[in-house]
Structure 1
Amino acid sequence: MTTVPSPPDSLHARVPGSKSLTNRALLLAAAADGTSVLATPLISDDTMAFRRALGDLGARVQPSDDDGAWQVTGLGRGPKGTGRIWCADAGTAARFLPPLAAAGHGDFVFTGSDQLTARPVAPLADALRRLGAEVHTGPGGTLPLRVRAQGLDGGALEVDGSLSSQFLSGLLMAGPLLRGGLLLGVRELVSRPYVDMTLALMRHFGADVAENTPGEFAIRPTGYRAADLGVEPDASTASYFLAAAAVTGRTVTVRGLGRGSLQGDVRFAEVLERAGARVHRGEEAISVTGTGTLRGGFTVDMGDISDTFMTLAAIAPLADAPLTIRGIGHARLKESDRIEAVARNLRALGVRTDTGRDWITVHPGSTYPARIACHRDHRIAMAFSVLNLRTRNLTLDDPGCVAKTFPGFHEELHRLFPRHPLPALPARVSA
């Protein structure tokens, strides 16, 4: 196996495990027969909420004292019993776990924080009803979501994939648990790399799933079998450290994110390359080197990697020409209306910013001192922390919100770039 070596003066970022991989693998292991071992899982607010929710559904997740791995003893199909399932802020829990519950037998109520309750679940509830489940939602098609389950026969279903790929991933992962399997057609799919990740993990845990034609998935009722998995570093989180390299002129390497990564967000490095950074891609790592200039003057569609659009938008004032990011309308339905939240923060800095339904244009310019409104959104806090490496005039109103995916973010950014301030933070999540 050949690799492209990282430059000798590279800073090596310690990026924790992928949230997307951790939570998908947790669900699939919980639905399997037997015990699976997940190595290097992410320990954060979202993954701990997901883990506790699975425990409420009857799965057993046991952390190892030796190496931090998690042993997951599966249910062997869907859950049984009754329960009130607290999803906290975790959108994946609210989108992935109701289909799992519907494939089981019992009465389950899914609730969450005010932030999560503001996010829609009506499309998922409607899809489950069309498969034969009894599902009730709160006012406006939000949480709480109640599932009265007697298993699902399966069949053919068509869904709209334009709002969130998480709805589709939840239905796909439930497919092998249905009595007759599932033929799932999808219109206007966003964030396709996350669906590809879901399919790859399903197969890893023994599912028989095929894409007959683009957007039509056939899943046989095979159930799942236990399997071990090593969780890659989180590519979305890696984007902040790679962007930090681009804006500081340093080199940053993230080990564990090689060419074979399951995560689409590794493609953020290609966007940085287009903006003038040098990128080294190897079998086992990726490195980005800043060249002293951040190029603008182009438009990029980031619909498939929308979790990283804020990283680019936050550093765009440093570019030499305007940058336009398109295809991100679904980002308005995340932890915050991310397009609007980013635009308001940039305008508060004195940066000219234009927006539309699914796009944002950021113009270059100097910044005023400002307090960034994080909206309890981890990605806003992390993205603007990267900008602050250059501007040195920003503070965050909620620095601790990074615990959703990386409790140690500020410490790691400070380790690599000592001038990054260390804010006072609340107590961390523990395993």
Structure 2
Amino acid sequence: MTTRPPALRPLTARIPGSKSITTRALLLAAAADGTSKLWAPLVSHDTLAFRTAVAGLGARIESSDDDQCWNVTGTGRGPVGTAQVWCADAGTAARFLPPYSATGEGAFTFDGSGQLRARPLGPLMETLTALGAHLETPVQGRLPLTVHAGGLEGGELRVDSSMSSQFLSGLLMAAPLMRRPVRADLRQAVSRPYLDMTLALMLRFGADVEEHGDGVIEVRPGGYRPTALVVEPDASTASYVFAAAAATGHRVTVPGLCERSLQGDLGFVEALGEMGAQVEITDRVVSVTGTGGLRGGLDLDMGDISDTFMTLAAIAPLADGPVTIRGVRHARFKESDRIAATAQNLRACGIRVDETEDSVTVHPGTPRPARIACHRDHRIAMAFSVLGLAARVPLTLDDPYCVTKTFPGFHEELARLFPDHTVPERS
């Protein structure tokens, strides 16, 4: 009979606020009639780009000296006038703000980086046009996009959400500003937990939302009211320290994540539990403890938590059997083709990977030193940092500071928790 080795010293991780909650709350506060307080928002390249964009559309935003509280004074309606909105790399800005702007009056042009221009917007544009918006774009289904706004009628929302739930989230958040009630069927949408988060935050800001038992949502006109909101730590970001704990035998605790979390990506810890880690979720914290080895022979559907599938794939070579992750086709349309990028980098490390359109199977192996192609994707950089740490193998990231998109202090925090992690030099 084998005994599990004792866990090493307990660690408390400092995880920044949720990007998903921060961006949604910024938009809802901008649409509310009055001043909202957002406590502990994520301060990163993406959220700062989103904050600047929202301010450009008419909201007034004041932040505390330490950026731990943002006071957002909204207009109680869609934007009015004209604006040139720079979305930088932020997919949420490109997908959430055009529907909001279409409920207003004026002309609003959205553009972004080359990486963001490459990401698809076709399904969102088609639905906005069907709702009565007049759109102008030189490249069909891509940025740049000009919205000639005159309000939206409402009615049935029919949007292809197979690539991203963000299309539907953006339309739902605009719905209380439309002239007629909006109905949407959520049953075929990917990443349903993100839609649940959107609806929960809409309710928090006073929207009139009703969900029928058949998966149909009805949102009635009436706008939003201001509120105060404490932003939870980012569950997707926490996946990296939880995976590191599971793979190294440490115990890591994240305060602020809890059983009442709005974030579906907290489900990642259940996948770690399947791999043999000890998981504890309370009303105040979430903890993961490594138990001396990772269990393989698993077939996991991670479609609802696809932002964390790379984290699991990165530590999968250390398991005692193959690990299959499926249901993640929509991850091909993120900052990078995440299925292809994950497979490419694991193979560069000498790991056998089988890849399909919507899945990867990672086989056990001993990673070798390699240069990791990040593809300007923060989640690739963070996931493979965990593999290098857990496998004690030097992996060089070609773009280590792409992590500033969501977690500017990632490398420093990982090194604080796990001194074996080397903070890359800034170029």
Q: Shorter-chain-normalised TM-score: which range?
A: over 0.9
1:146-157 equivalences under 5 Å are: 146-157=146-157
CA distance in structure 1 between the partners assigned to 2:425 and 2:52 by the alignment:
27
SS at match of 2:38: strand
State the one-letter code of the partner of 1:178. Answer: M
What's 1:400 paired with?
Answer: 401
What's 1:409 paired with?
Answer: 410
What's 2:104 paired with?
Answer: 104
State the one-letter code of the partner of 2:52. Answer: R
8 A Cα contact 1:158 1:186, kept in partner: no
**Could you tell which deviates more after superposition, 227-236 or 140-149?**
140-149
Measured on the aligned residues, the alpha-carbon RMSD in Å equals: 1.2
Q: Compared with structure 1, are the counterparts of its residues 67 and 55 closer, same or farther at alpha carbon in structure 2 (3 Å cutoff)? A: closer
Normalising by structure 1, report the TM-score.
Answer: 0.96
For these two proteins, the number of residue pairs brought into alignment is 420
State the one-letter code of the partner of 2:232. Answer: E
Q: Percent identity?
A: 65
CA distance in structure 1 between the partners assigned to 2:29 and 2:374 by the alignment:
34
CA distance in structure 1 between the partners assigned to 2:11 and 2:70 by the alignment:
29
Q: CA deviation at 1:187?
A: 5.5
1:75 has 2:46 as partner: no
What's 2:335 paired with?
Answer: 335
CA distance in structure 1 between the partners assigned to 2:192 and 2:92 by the alignment:
16
CA distance in structure 2 between the partners assigned to 1:303 and 1:106 by the alignment:
38
8 A Cα contact 2:43 2:67, kept in partner: no
Query: Which string of whole-angstrom CA distances, capped at 9 and with x for unpartnered residues, describes residues 145-186 of structure 1?
Result: 110001112122222221110000000000000011211234
What's 1:242 paired with?
Answer: 242
SS at match of 2:342: helix
Runs of 4 or more, structure 1, over 3 Å off, are none
8 A Cα contact 1:185 1:215, kept in partner: yes
What's 2:4 paired with?
Answer: none
Q: Compared with structure 1, are the counterparts of its residues 180 and 385 closer, same or farther at alpha carbon in structure 2 (3 Å cutoff)? A: same
1:5-20 equivalences under 5 Å are: 9-20=9-20
Q: CA deviation at 1:292?
A: 1.2
**Could you tell which deviates more after superposition, 312-321 or 180-189?**
180-189
Unaligned runs of 5+ in 2: 1-6
8 A Cα contact 1:79 1:104, kept in partner: yes
Q: Compared with structure 1, are the counterparts of its residues 207 and 283 closer, same or farther at alpha carbon in structure 2 (3 Å cutoff)? A: same
1:105-254 equivalences under 5 Å are: 105-186=105-186, 188-254=188-254
8 A Cα contact 1:161 1:187, kept in partner: no
SS at match of 2:29: helix
What's 1:48 paired with?
Answer: 48
Query: Which string of whole-angstrom CA distances, capped at 9 and with x for unpartnered residues, describes residues 241-287 of structure 1?
Result: 00000111000000000100000011100000000000111111010
CA distance in structure 1 between the partners assigned to 2:8 and 2:377 by the alignment:
35
State the one-letter code of the partner of 1:42. Answer: L
State the one-letter code of the partner of 2:413. Answer: E
Q: Compared with structure 1, are the counterparts of its residues 66 and 406 closer, same or farther at alpha carbon in structure 2 (3 Å cutoff)? A: closer
CA distance in structure 2 between the partners assigned to 1:30 and 1:152 by the alignment:
18
What's 1:379 paired with?
Answer: 379
What's 1:4 paired with?
Answer: none
CA distance in structure 2 between the partners assigned to 1:228 and 1:186 by the alignment:
28
8 A Cα contact 2:102 2:150, kept in partner: yes
Query: Which string of whole-angstrom CA distances, capped at 9 and with x for unpartnered residues, describes residues 318-358 of structure 1?
Result: 01000000000000000000000000001111100011010
What's 2:355 paired with?
Answer: 355
State the one-letter code of the partner of 2:425. Answer: A
Q: Compared with structure 1, are the counterparts of its residues 166 and 281 closer, same or farther at alpha carbon in structure 2 (3 Å cutoff)? A: same
SS at match of 1:219: strand
CA distance in structure 1 between the partners assigned to 2:245 and 2:35 by the alignment:
40
SS at match of 2:411: helix
Q: Compared with structure 1, are the counterparts of its residues 8 and 290 closer, same or farther at alpha carbon in structure 2 (3 Å cutoff)? A: closer
8 A Cα contact 1:162 1:187, kept in partner: no
CA distance in structure 1 between the partners assigned to 2:212 and 2:251 by the alignment:
43
